[in-house]
Structure 1
């Protein structure tokens, strides 16, 4: 997913005390919603960055969820069992694995199928000759690719922090953790589910068109693996098919339609599907570009979707063309339970010059400001009855924005705002911050709920 760790200074307090801290920090409240401009300052948040909390959550009866983006990836290298385990202990409701496939067809959790940035593969001389250049989703990528390794070979690798320049503390865990399979993640979620709390999983199929149709292994043979088919088969094999505990997401449309129309019915399961959106203005769904280039019958692939898109389906049709009420309504009626838009589209930002120092460390790293606008897609999706789960909240200074009042809003304030705008959940790298935000939002709205 596209490109928040500090916890509010009152992290260990009750929800009511957290709310008091938020207000004392300068938060304005309008109609029960803390403004994005408010909340603890970035400097306050940074003081509480050191140690993640171990939250004892209650089940989310109001439907508001916290999704651990690749696990507690603000605290541990992403897509490791340790990152997922910490996310669960911090109170996340769902853990999110990005799924790619090995040469022998096993699903593993990696951000991409190219693994030089997330594993120590470059330190294994026995794999030096597997470094190559491939075209993935139209882009040339050089490195080592999961489809060229068996699971047994992947087991010899260890995870590394993907962005050590931003998260240097995570780099101390480099080399400690193995690369988990999807099945292992499901077993972890099952083991950690206790009492009324049931941990869910939110897998994403990464590059499904590449794996199924376009991609080739190092020896030139086609990969030919359906990530959707393998995903559902693994869920069934592990007995993890409760629709209240699974969301399946993808940036591609064909992949989700195929899951709804063929793969899930054949397996006897019915799980909610979430359509992800890349940047609305510049990005194009890769499956659409590929299918147009291959001359495939788009009506056979997408059904009546094309009739809902202004101008029809073209190779360059951007994600924004699929964010209209007509398309959102069709998706809801035909395959999707929710949408996952990029947070930068829902809450547009503008460049900030010069940058400002938000956390008081002497380095000016806040380079954007809030425009105080909300994209109409949010209201349109909610009006169609779709769940809305935006991505990704991150707490590090470089991911934050200056609010209209001049303060730098923390991820905590941004998360409270998103709940107030009606989202049902969000992806966040620091799950404890998301849980704290939900506690605050519930406390703010308690008088309104109890007064009904």
Structure 2
């Protein structure tokens, strides 16, 4: 994709915030004319436990263009980086605080203070507390390394520091997790997330940060009530791609979509037309998640899957392995159709 095409797409987006009347294109570490953006999913989570400072550093070193942070709040309102709303699957909470399990058999992060969370060690993802590894071939489950749950502030300090020392401009893609569940506890995860981003100077559309969420109404609130000037990404799940009207509605408050890749490619690996429709609405497309150890039947390896996604129109992709990439955009043009 050529740079002027990206600029035109952003210019076509019908943004509701007055501060976004002039929108600059995404160029956060790689030219889209050369290759799609590589979005490190929870850091380099294919190599190191997800959402750890070590995983963030490795994702940066492997050349990621953006590094994802999932944000939840502790009981005392501190923004930590954790994919789940519970501590069960990625920490040793069941060993450190066995009596704090709730009636549903979980350890919600919002029931622990930051000081308590800092007592936990992070492990590779388990199927449940104390259960087997979700991906057995990844980093061993042993608790020997003192990997901790980081705060959003700590991850941003690390990325900003690495950007300065390397001369790169790796961006942040920050997901607001469970806004309704937080609100039920009297916590405003969106407001706190934006406060931390603003503290580090991330507040304008040209800044190297994107805010994303599955909750459509919350993302509208982020743009409207909370006055967020950063670019927004509407995450999409389910099994049916949104139609043209739904995409036009998303484009009224966001600049991109993050669909499950099964919404971009059908079960045979052919395009569903979602990316093309999104582009017509002025939206960029960032499918999730490429995992070389969990591939769909239509793709023999990660490169084949990435190729298919790019040929279908993806502008970037989330991946657990940030070194899985195409050398140049278009190098293998139409290769997927020829297989």
Q: TM-score, normalised by structure 2?
A: 0.82
1:12-40 superposed Cα distances (whole Å, 9 cap, x missing partner):
xxxxxxxxxxxxxxxxxxxxxxxxxxxxx
2:225 matched to which residue of 1? 262
Any idea what SS the aligned residue of 2:105 has? strand
Deviation of 1:115 after TM superposition, in Å, equals: 1.0
| Matches of 1:274 and 1:148, distance apart in 2 | 29
Deviation of 1:388 after TM superposition, in Å, equals: 0.4
2:119 matched to which residue of 1? 156
Does the Cα contact within 8 Å between 2:64 and 2:322 map onto a contact in 1? yes
How many residue pairs match? The answer is 295
Whether 1:200 and 2:162 are equivalent positions in the alignment is no
1:281-336 superposed Cα distances (whole Å, 9 cap, x missing partner):
4xxxxxxxxxxxxxxxxxxxxxxxxxxxxxxxxxxxxxx5xx1111211221x211
Among residues 288, 292, 296, which one is paired with 1:401 in the alignment? 296
Matches within 5 A, 1:55-204: 59-62=29-32, 64-124=36-96, 127-133=97-103, 141-163=104-126, 164-172=133-141, 174-176=143-145, 177-194=147-164, 197-204=168-175
Whether 1:226 and 2:194 are equivalent positions in the alignment is no
Matches within 5 A, 1:284-323: 320=241, 323=242
Deviation of 1:196 after TM superposition, in Å, equals: 5.1
Among residues 324, 348, 354, which one is paired with 2:243 in the alignment? 324
Matches within 5 A, 1:344-363: 344-349=262-267
Does the Cα contact within 8 Å between 2:269 and 2:308 map onto a contact in 1? no
Does the Cα contact within 8 Å between 1:77 and 1:174 map onto a contact in 2? no
1:68-90 superposed Cα distances (whole Å, 9 cap, x missing partner):
00000000000101111100100
Does the Cα contact within 8 Å between 2:265 and 2:312 map onto a contact in 1? no
1:419 matched to which residue of 2? 310
In structure 2, relative to structure 1, the CA distance for the partners of 1:97 and 1:433 (3 Å cut) is same
Any idea what SS the aligned residue of 1:96 has? strand
| Matches of 1:71 and 1:378, distance apart in 2 | 25
Could you list the runs of 5+ residues in structure 2 that have no partner in the other structure?
1-27, 127-132, 334-339
Q: Which has the larger radius of gyration?
A: 1
In structure 2, relative to structure 1, the CA distance for the partners of 1:415 and 1:372 (3 Å cut) is closer
Whether 1:273 and 2:191 are equivalent positions in the alignment is no
| Matches of 1:132 and 1:420, distance apart in 2 | 46
- Which moves more between the two structures, 188-197 or 79-88? 188-197
Deviation of 1:383 after TM superposition, in Å, equals: 1.0
Pick the structure with more helix per residue. 1
Whether 1:335 and 2:223 are equivalent positions in the alignment is no
Could you list the runs of 5+ residues in structure 1 that have no partner in the other structure?
1-57, 134-140, 215-222, 282-319, 350-370, 446-452
Does the Cα contact within 8 Å between 2:213 and 2:233 map onto a contact in 1? yes
Deviation of 1:385 after TM superposition, in Å, equals: 1.0
CA RMSD of aligned residues (A): 1.9
Deviation of 1:61 after TM superposition, in Å, equals: 1.9
Any idea what SS the aligned residue of 2:234 has? strand
Deviation of 1:372 after TM superposition, in Å, equals: 3.6
In structure 2, relative to structure 1, the CA distance for the partners of 1:84 and 1:173 (3 Å cut) is farther
| Matches of 2:196 and 2:285, distance apart in 1 | 26
| Matches of 1:93 and 1:81, distance apart in 2 | 17
Any idea what SS the aligned residue of 1:95 has? strand
Deviation of 1:443 after TM superposition, in Å, equals: 4.2
1:100-156 superposed Cα distances (whole Å, 9 cap, x missing partner):
1100101111111211111011111xx2221003xxxxxxx5211111111011110
1:179-232 superposed Cα distances (whole Å, 9 cap, x missing partner):
1000011111101114652111111111111111x3xxxxxxxx2111110111
Whether 1:433 and 2:324 are equivalent positions in the alignment is yes
Q: Which runs of 4+ in 1 moved over 4 A?
A: 442-445
Does the Cα contact within 8 Å between 1:77 and 1:173 map onto a contact in 2? no
